[in-house]
Amino acid sequence: MAVYTDISEDDLSGFLTQYDVGELTSYKGIAEGVENTNFLLQTTKGAYILTLYEKRVDQSDLPFFLGLMHHLAGNGLSCPLPIPRLDGALLGELSGRPAAVISFLTGVWLRKPDANHCREVGRALAAMHVAGDGFDLTRRNALSVSGWRPIWNNSVARADEVQPGLADEIGAELDHLEARWPKTLPSGVIHADLFPDNVFFLGDDLSGLIDFYFACNDFFAYDVSICLNAWCFEKDGAFNITKGMALLAGYESVRQLSDDEVAALPLLARGSAMRFFLTRLYDWLMTPAGALVVKKDPLEYLKKLQFHRSVASAAEYGLVRESLSP
Ligand SMILES: Nc1ncnc2c1ncn2[C@@H]1O[C@H](COP(=O)(O)OP(=O)(O)O)[C@@H](O)[C@H]1O
Ligand SMILES: N[C@@H](CCOP(=O)(O)O)C(=O)O
């Protein structure tokens, strides 16, 4: 559960007088998420999400995240909108934290997505890549290849507590990725965390995307690789090529991958597995006992990384191309 900061009813009611959202009727902390504190608010005008931005979010990035939601929604993507205060500002302050009220997106996230859902996600990811075009703010991806070594350096001394041999394996893997990471591929605004818990469905229809708090400028194909990792592996660790095929076909129904992107996909997938392995490992080792957050298993992402090491081409992810042999 991610409620790091508590709020009182009086403080919240006072805070909401700065918005045209009606009177507060109830509120409750949301038992999901990792980065920020979220509350579901019910008011006389409807439901809203209140987000208090925690220390892990750099305050100088907030205009990028909130502006991006506006830009994407303006270009037809279904995503939450920050609600402006009466003075027009998108950000306020509550309980000593930067805070925003965000529109409530209907739908639920899927615990067991099937191939059709993966197709929808691929389509929505590409639609987001297209809709991000023309957004005038930029944000470097602090969690791309140059950001991995510093996270590792903070965890390496205790890594073998999690699995013996990890220190050697990850050190060698980082050397490999750093030496080969692509320098130029088609780029733009990417979501960078489009896991199942950030995609809402109503029945089998995708109703929208949430949680743009890792969004940044980076390779589009890197975002595709994040989704292959997050959506196309089964609980037993096996890659499901039917899901991969559907996700990639959904993506390419909106935006075609170039030959360079296709060739880079196995390395990018290895890198994105490394990225989530490292942040999970760091949290696994560093989160204080008793913190109100569910820690995620780093070894799940080590196994995905190991799978990608054996992949020779994107055909093994289900990409259909005459130039790729299966
Ligand atoms: N706009 C929204 N509409 C509906 N529910 C939301 C919205 N934003 C967040 N939530 C709920 O809050 C949970 C955590 O939000 P998320 O942005 O993923 O948090 P974090 O950034 O801390 O990971 C989501 O899983 C969802 O249940
Ligand atoms: N998706 C990441 C963790 C970030 O969680 P979110 O709640 O912000 O989506 C992971 O699985 O490691």
**Position 155 in a domain:** yes
Average pLDDT over residues 163-174: 97
Domain that holds residue 169: 115-317
How large is the average pLDDT for residues 118-142?
A: 98
**What is the spatial distance between Cα 59 and Cα 55, in angstroms, rounded to a whole number?**
8
Q: Is 189 in the pocket of ligand 1 (CB under 6 A)?
A: no
Task: Please indicate whether residue 213, judged by its CB atom, sits closer than 6 Å to ligand 1.
Answer: yes
Q: State whether 130 and 87 are in the same domain.
A: no
- Verify that 50 and 146 share a domain, yes or no: no
For residue 227, which ligand has an atom nearest its CA?
2
pLDDT at 320: 85
Do both 296 and 185 map to the same domain? Answer: yes
The pTM of this model reads 0.94
For residue 323, the Cα-to-chain-centroid distance in whole angstroms is: 31
Q: Tell me whether residue 110 is in a domain.
A: no
2 within domain boundaries: no
**Cα distances (Å, whole numbers) of residue 95 to 23, 55, 92, 213, 280:** 19, 13, 10, 20, 28
Whether residues 87 and 189 fall in one domain: no
* CA nearest neighbour of 308 among 225, 245, 214: 225
Q: What is the mean pLDDT of the chain?
A: 95
Question: Is residue 90 domain-shared with residue 125, that is, in the same domain?
Answer: no
- Residue pLDDT, tens place only, 259-291: 999 999 999 999 999 999 999 999 999 877 766
176 plus 52 within the same structural domain: no
The reply to whether 146 falls in a domain is: yes
Tell me the ligand closest to 56's alpha carbon: 1
pLDDT (mean) for 75-91? 96
Q: Which of 68, 103, 138 is the last residue of a domain?
A: 103
Q: How far is CA 264 from CA 117, 181, 184, 240, 257, in A?
A: 25, 9, 11, 20, 11
The binding-site residues of ligand 2, defined as CB within 6 angstroms of any ligand atom, are 33-35, 193, 195, 197-198, 211, 276, 279-280, 296
| The ligand 2 atom nearest the CA atom of 35 | 8
- Written in H, E and C, the secondary structure of 75-143 is CCCCCCCECCECCCCCCEEECCEEEEEEECCCCECCCCCCHHHHHHHHHHHHHHHHHCCCCCCCCECCC
* Residues 205 and 160 placed together within one structural domain of the fold: yes
Same domain, 304 and 178: yes
* CATH number assigned to the domain comprising residue 58: 3.30.200.20
Identify which of 33, 26, 29 has the alpha carbon closest to the alpha carbon of residue 47.
26
Q: Is the CB of 173 under 6 A from ligand 1?
A: no
- For the Cβ of 172 lying below 6 angstroms from any atom of ligand 1, the answer is no
Ligand 2 centroid to residue 34 C-alpha, Å: 6
Q: Is 290 helix (H, G, I), strand (E, B) or coil?
A: coil
Asked if residue 196 is part of any domain, the answer here is: yes
Pair (144, 228) in one structural domain? yes
**Whether residue 193 has its Cβ less than 6 Å from ligand 1:** no
Local structure of residue 53 (DSSP, 8 states): -
27 plus 161 within the same structural domain? no
Which whole number is the average pLDDT over 33-43?
89
Q: Is a pLDDT exceeding 60 seen at residue 1?
A: no
Last residue of a domain, one of 103, 125, 150: 103
* Residues 91 and 153 reside in one and the same domain: no
Between the CA of 73 and the centroid of ligand 2 the distance, in Å, is 22
Q: Is there an atom of ligand 1 within 6 Å of 108 CB?
A: no
Of 63, 78, 103, the domain-final residue: 103
CATH number at residue 162: 3.90.1200.10
Q: Are 132 and 68 in contact (CB under 8 A)?
A: yes
Q: Is residue 15 part of a domain?
A: yes
Is 257's pLDDT higher than 60? yes
Give the count of domains, the chain: 2
> What is this model's ipTM?
0.93
163 shares its domain with 53 = no
* Residue 57: alpha-carbon gap to chain centroid: 14
Atom of ligand 2 nearest to the CA of 2: 7
Asked if the structure places residue 325 within a domain, the reply is no
pLDDT average, residue stretch 52-74:
94
109 within a domain of the structure (yes/no): no
Indicate if ligand 1 lies below 6 Å from the C-beta of 140: no
Distance CA 122, CA 10 (A): 43
pLDDT value of residue 138:
98
